[in-house]
Amino acid sequence: EDKVVQSPLSLVVHEGDTVTLNCSYEVTNFRSLLWYKQEKKAPTFLFMLTSSGIEKKSGRLSSILDKKELFSILNITATQTGDSAVYLCAVAADSWGKLQFGAGTQVVVTP
Amino acid sequence: EAQVTQNPRYLITVTGKKLTVTCSQNMNHEYMSWYRQDPGLGLRQIYYSMNVEVTDKGDVPEGYKVSRKEKRNFPLILESPSPNQTSLYFCASRAEGVSYEQYFGPGTRLTVT
């Protein structure tokens, strides 16, 4: 059975801190790993990673995939209160891109 | 504006009363999907559709039906809702191709009493 596990489940940080979120997976037909941000509404797309070792970066957010060890990390540097959200990791594991989601990590950034 | 729309956004109903949640996308996407989101369980796929008249079960299809008669629409039908179907529902779509990014609708919060 395909599985996506995120850790930690939640964390609270102060503005300016750096956050590292983890996503490990066990799927039979890996295609890509995706990160989404969810703020009390629909998930919004952050990154899609397909190749190992290539960092994707967008502003203060970055992510990397390790296909040998079957995990990905999402880093947020210089956190702001606007980064408070649930961060979802999902793996596309068939030709149609069915997404298998992890339970998410709730990040709270305090002023 | 490219978007996925869902209606209604909020619904409170009673056990056994049939309901339909509509989903429509204006991006000409082939692939559409329904998810439910429950605390601690993340998003779980209910049904998906690869194109018109082609649908298949996801991970939690029991108690749900779907149809795909037109490319843009993918309604979710609950023939006889039960309290364990109280959840937040998302419709999503994506284009056929290399990117697996799915675009999500705003969500429908359903409460079944």
pLDDT tens column, B30-57: 999 999 999 888 899 999 999 999 999 9
For A36, A76, A82, A107, B39, the CA distances from A12, given in Å and listed in that order, are: 19, 13, 13, 6, 18
Bridge-partner residues for B103, per DSSP? B93
Kindly report the nearest CA distance between residue B40 and chain A, in angstroms. Answer: 6
Q: What is the pLDDT of residue B40?
A: 84
Reported as a pLDDT band with limits 50, 70 and 90, residue A23 is very high
Query: By percentage, how much of chain B surpasses pLDDT 70?
Result: 99
Q: Is the pLDDT of residue A97 over 80?
A: no
Considering only CB atoms, which chain B residues are within 8 Å of A92? 100
Cis preceding-peptide flag for B75 (omega within 30 of 0): no
CB contact under 8 A, A90 and B106: no
Contacts of B31 in chain A (CB under 8 A): 96-97
CB neighbours of A81 closer than 8 A, spacing ≥ 6?
A15, A109, A110, A111
- Per the CB < 8 A criterion, the answer to whether B19 and B111 are in contact is no
Binned at pLDDT 50, 70 and 90, residue A96 comes out as confident
- Cβ contact A32–B102 (<8 Å): no
Q: Answer yes or no: do B42 and A32 touch at CB < 8 A.
A: no
> Are the beta carbons of B41 and A103 separated by less than 8 Å?
yes
In chain A, the residue whose alpha carbon lies closest to the alpha carbon of B107 is A42
pLDDT of residue A95 exceeding 80, the answer is no
Q: What is the pLDDT of residue B77?
A: 98
Q: Do the Cβ atoms of B102 and A99 come within 8 Å? A: yes
pLDDT at B31: 93
